[in-house]
Amino acid sequence: MHLSHTLAYFSDLVVVTAGQVVVKAANFPITELSIDSRNKTTTPFPIFFAIVGINHDGHDYIAAAYEKGIRQFVVVHPYHCAIIEKFNGVNILQVTNTLEALHQFIIFYRSKYQLPILGVAGSNGKTIVKEWMHEFLSRKYKTVSNPQSYNSQVGVPLAISLLQPSHEYGVFEAGIGQTGEMAKLASLIQPTHGLLTNIGPAHNQGFQNITQKIEEKIKLFTSCTTIYYCKDHQPIHLAMVELYGRTKVLVNWSFHNQKADYRVGYKRLSSQTTLQITTTTQRNTFVIPFRDKASIENITHCLVYLLDNGFDPRPLQLSLLQLTSIPMRMTLKAGIHRCQIIDDTYTNDMVSLTIALDFMQQQQPTKRTIILTDILQSATPDAQLYQELADLLVQYTIDRLIGIGPLMCQYKTLFPIPETIFFNGIEEYLSKKPSFKDETILVKGARTFRLERVVQTIEQNNHGTILEIDMHAIRHNLSYFRRQLNVGTKIMAMVKASCYGSGSSNFELASVLQRHGVEYLGVAYMDEGISLRQKGITLPIMVMNPTDDHFDAILDHHLEPEIYSLPLLDALACFIAERSVQSISIHLKLETGMHRLGIAATELDQLIKQLKQMPGLHIVSIFSHLAASQADLHDAYTLLQAEKFIKMAQYIEKQLAIKPLKHLLNTNGILRFPQFQFDMVRLGIGLHGVGVDQTIQPHLLPASKLKTTISQVKSIQKGDSIGYDRKAIATQAMTIATIPIGYADGLSRSFGCGKATVVIQGHECPIIGNVCMDMAMVDVTGLALKRGDEVIIFSAEHPIDRLAERVGTISYELLTQISQRVKRVYYT
């Protein structure tokens, strides 16, 4: 995390943690906190906290942190002897618990500051409310907030460390998943004001019931003088009154309750909403650029807080029209001429820029270009700020800088980048349009510059249908499955079929999985594995369907073939002899009852005979596949398969005197048959948060959202026919909307004639008539819609599993049949 001042000194850390100094080269300042050795440090005196998690241990990365230039370490395990012997000039502090030590340090650091801090909690909307509040407040105050969604037990400390003496206001969100966590975050943030968005179903599994969940969330507000919330959520209101009614000022608002402190009414227009907020003494009307209920509620939270704290409604209205409703996270998009775009156009400051640059470094190695606007509302003087910016870009080896804004132009001589172009404003940039080819382009800027116009000029030309993939959900699901595994059990992530349809290739997800410690990848065909290698994936990769003529390419790209038959093993033996191959890694697939691919029990002796004649083979793993791991109806059959697998694998191990990895379980098997985890499991559809047993679904986050927009709205009369073959005849006057998605995009013809619905403005609207190749028609009678309105095919709130059930298929099929012409957008 980037900072430009001293947080404290090593000696301060020793005192506040009561830790034991193992070695001390000097009383270095502490200028930056690090918990991830993969990220660059950007200040001279960072300190690395070796955090121990459920499935990772920060002590394993101390050497990597040292290589990055870190010389101060907080540790738990007695690894310090090895550190002292290997490294020079280090400070090492040993504590009982490194996460607790990080918290203790941040409590000490937070105590230095006396300024208004707004703490934001809730289940839904807290990140966007935090971002919007930052936007409003920063127009009047020097404001600091969590970068992105740094709201966890580790994220909050990193966010609080960004406080500087020149800051005048803070906005910090706090997120929890179980009891006991919020009290810790409250001691870190110490908010003076509190705001609760609402309480939804996310992370319900960590709480006994909704009441306990609310009570835990509002523990953030222990130190607050005033708390803001919506009175319409009755359980929230009751909990607030019970816990804080006598000790704090409770300010509530409502769409319905006339006794609320702030009464709110709204009216949706064609593309906007008018919002009226009334108290006993004033009435204010605002125009907001949203029509959906969630955005209306989120902006009301902000406006009530701001009005109650004396903000002038007139400048608020100007700020409102510049807000955006898109998810406020970095997105990864395909660009023109084989470019890759990192779209981070909603904010611009040194902290979020550092995060974006770290993300840029994770992408495939290409020319790196950054399009960057002026940094607005910084707490640092301009000359110092832009020198820091120049130094930061040098550290990340940027090949081309395109600067936009008067300040970027004023300080352009500070940037020693190989290629630089500067424009005074966005209009000048758009009139000249620099060219791009084979580049990774980070587009980063303050919202007022409206850089989405820049992104539109360099995106691939696609129709309005988009598949959004939430990488946070992927990481959440990976963590959930890791928690179900025994210590030491490895994960092979299946990234075949373009990662179950989520990828324009399978690189995007594979890159995230590699970064987050998955041990193996599995692909269906050789081409998928080669593509991953060409894009910088270094994890071991198993190829499930190799063919005789692919062994050359498999060997050249360090892939590992699955051997599922004796003839395929014969072909491999011939290849080894012809190429004089010294060593090749393979995976043995056993037939235990799936009756698809695999070596049968009756073939084991012949298999062992052949393997003994091939000393160059390295058998990495022995595995099989369960036929019905999800269905309890077939559990007896699953147990027979497992028994058969154990016997076959043990026989091979004994005969060959080897001890390879063994794996049997897929996603649902991991959850239902933990006794058969063995050495490794194969995680596929579960990473995407769908396709699992319904008892498990509440623990996962669906990662994909398929959406499009309305192309046309038209009225038809009774008796009119709709679509090909006149499959739908209007029985009355009705309104239909045409949407630009058809069976060539993955919207199957089986969806037509009323069998499936899409969601528009929260309403389920049936698809009528036959689905066309590129379009479909939807019954929207009674709704006030227009061209460009969003249409959701499936999302977390409108599950793909339910859609699949309606048309008699499974979520796997719906995901994998989404066409590659559908644009993929990846949210970090």
**In degrees rounded to 5, what are phi and psi of residue 633?**
-60, -30
pLDDT in tens, 232-269: 999 999 999 999 999 999 999 999 999 999 999 999 88
Q: Cα–Cα distance between 114 and 778 in angstroms, integer?
A: 56
pLDDT at 500: 57
**Max CA separation in the chain (angstroms):** 91
Residue 418's φ and ψ, nearest 5 degrees, are: -55, -40
Q: What is the pLDDT of residue 379?
A: 66
The alpha-carbon radius of gyration of the chain (Å, integer) is 29
CATH class for the region spanning 704-827: mainly beta
Of 65, 75, 71, 78, residue with least CA distance to 24: 71
Q: If you search the block for the tokens 């969601």, which residue do you land on?
A: 759
Q: Which of 38-52, 79-93, 628-642 has the lowest mean pLDDT?
A: 79-93
Average pLDDT over residues 123-141: 88
Angle between helices 382-395 and 350-361 (to 10 degrees): 10
Contact 273, 267 (CB under 8 A): yes
Query: What CATH number is given for 468-699 in this structure?
Result: 3.20.20.10
The rounded distance, in Å, linking the Cα atoms of 620 and 148 is 40
Selected residue with higher pLDDT from 631 and 723: 723
Q: Using a CB cutoff of 8 Å and minimum separation of 24, what contacts does 100-104 make?
A: 101/13, 101/17, 101/19, 101/49, 101/74, 102/33, 102/35, 102/49, 102/51, 102/74, 102/154, 102/157, 103/153, 103/157, 103/184, 103/187, 103/188, 104/16, 104/17
Structure tokens at 827: 């949210």
Tell me the C-alpha distance between 316 and 756, whole Å: 42
Which letter does DSSP use for residue 448 in this model? Answer: G
* Closest C-alpha among 27, 18, 222 to residue 108: 18
707 by DSSP, 3-state: which? strand
Q: Which of 267, 609, 612, 724 is catalytic?
A: 724
Tell me: pLDDT of 109 over 90.
Answer: yes
Cβ neighbors of 238 (< 8 A, separation 6 or more) are none
Q: Specify the pairing of strand 823-827 against strand 46-49.
A: unpaired
CB 721 within 8 A of CB 706: no
pLDDT at residue 206, as a whole number: 66
Residue type, 267: K
Average pLDDT for residues 78-87, to the nearest whole number?
71
- When comparing pLDDT for 390 and 3, which is higher? 390
Residue 2 scores a pLDDT above 50: no
Q: Is the pLDDT of residue 1 over 50?
A: no
pLDDT at 67: 87
Question: What is the 8-class DSSP label of residue 459?
Answer: B
With both helix axes pointing from N to C terminus, report the angle between 635-656 and 604-612 in degrees, rounded to the nearest 10: 30
For residue 495, the one-letter residue type is V
Q: Tell the residue number behind the tokens 């679509």, with chain if given.
A: 723
pLDDT digits (tens, 9 = 90+) for 727-748: 889 999 999 999 999 988 889 8
CA distance 463 to 493: 31
How much is the mean pLDDT over the chain?
89
pTM assigned to the model: 0.76
Averaged over 479-492, what is the pLDDT? 91
Q: Of residues 86 and 533, which shows the higher confidence score?
A: 533
Report phi then psi at 586, rounded to 5. Answer: -135, 165
What's the confidence (pLDDT) of residue 499?
59
pLDDT at 168 over 50: yes
CA 233 vs. chain centroid, Å, equals: 29
- Give the Cα separation of 768 and 736 in Å (integer): 9
Helix (H) or strand (E) holding 476: helix 471-483
Contact (CB, 8 A) for 235 and 123: no
How far apart, in Å, are the Cα atoms of 662 and each of 483, 486, 491, 564, 675? Answer: 20, 14, 11, 15, 13
**In 176-242, beta strands by DSSP E:** 193-196, 226-230
Check pLDDT > 80 for residue 291: no
Pick the closest to residue 639 from 573, 588, 592, 597 (CA basis): 592
Tokens 């810790």 belong to residue = 184
The confidence score (pLDDT) of residue 503 equals 55
Q: The tokens of 705 are what?
A: 């959202």
Backbone angles phi, psi at 307, to 5 degrees: -65, -40
Between CA 759 and CA 766, with CA 760 as vertex, the angle to 5 degrees is 55
Q: Catalytic residue at 496? A: yes
* pLDDT interval class at 448 (50, 70, 90): confident
Intra-chain end-to-end CA distance of the chain, in Å = 17
pLDDT of residue 502: 56
- The backbone torsions φ and ψ at residue 118, rounded to the nearest 5 degrees and listed phi first, read -95, 120
Q: Please report, for residues 15, 82, 354, the alpha-carbon distance to residue 824 in angstroms, rounded to integers and kept in the order given.
A: 50, 46, 24
From the list 130, 219, 496, 589, the catalytic residue is: 496
Handedness of CA 285, 290, 296, 301 (dihedral sign): negative
Catalytic (active site) residue 109? no
DSSP-assigned states of every residue in 202-218? TTGGGSSSHHHHHHHHG
Residue 91 Cα distances to 10, 20, 592, 738, angstroms: 8, 11, 56, 65
Name the residue type at position 600: A
DSSP 794: E
Cα–Cα nearest to 495, from 507, 486, 483: 507
CA dist., res. 359 & res. 92, Å (int)? 29
Residue 743: helix, strand or coil by DSSP?
Answer: coil
CATH superfamily of 331-461: Mur ligase, C-terminal domain (3.90.190.20)
Structure tokens, 473: 């959900």
What is the bridge-based pairing of β-strands 72-75 and 91-94?
A: parallel
Ordered DSSP codes for 132-148: HHHHHHTTTS-EEE-ST
Residue 718: exposed, middle, or buried by beta-carbon count in 10 A (0-12, 13-18, 19+)?
exposed
Average pLDDT over residues 756-765: 91
pLDDT for res 693: 80
Query: If you search the block for the tokens 């909690």, which residue do you land on?
Result: 121
Q: What is the mean pLDDT of residues 572-600?
A: 92
| Residue 3: pLDDT over 50 | no
Least confident of 17-21, 77-81, 99-103, 352-356: 77-81
DSSP of 305-353: HHHHTT--HHHHHHHHTT---S-SS-EEEEBGGG-EEEEE-S---HHHH
Superfamily of domain 113-257+291-320: Mur-like, catalytic domain (3.40.1190.10)
DSSP state string for 147-172: STT--STTHHHHHHTT--TT--EEEE
State how far the Cα of 194 lies from the Cα of 208, in Å rounded to an integer: 24
Contact status, residue 431 vs residue 406, Cβ threshold 8 Å: no
Other C-beta atoms within 10 Å of 477: how many?
25
In the predicted model, is pLDDT for residue 31 greater than 80? yes
Q: Are 386 and 412 in contact (CB under 8 A)?
A: no
Top CATH class, 8-103: alpha beta
Residue 203: pLDDT above 60?
Answer: no
For the chain, which residues make up each domain, given as ranges?
A: 8-103, 113-257+291-320, 331-461, 468-699, 704-827
From CA 720, how far away is CA 717, in angstroms rounded? 6
- For residue 617, pLDDT beyond 60: yes
Q: Which two tokens mark 59?
A: 């002590």
pLDDT at 327 (0 to 100) = 52
110 — alpha (psi -120 to 50), left (phi > 0) or beta?
Answer: alpha
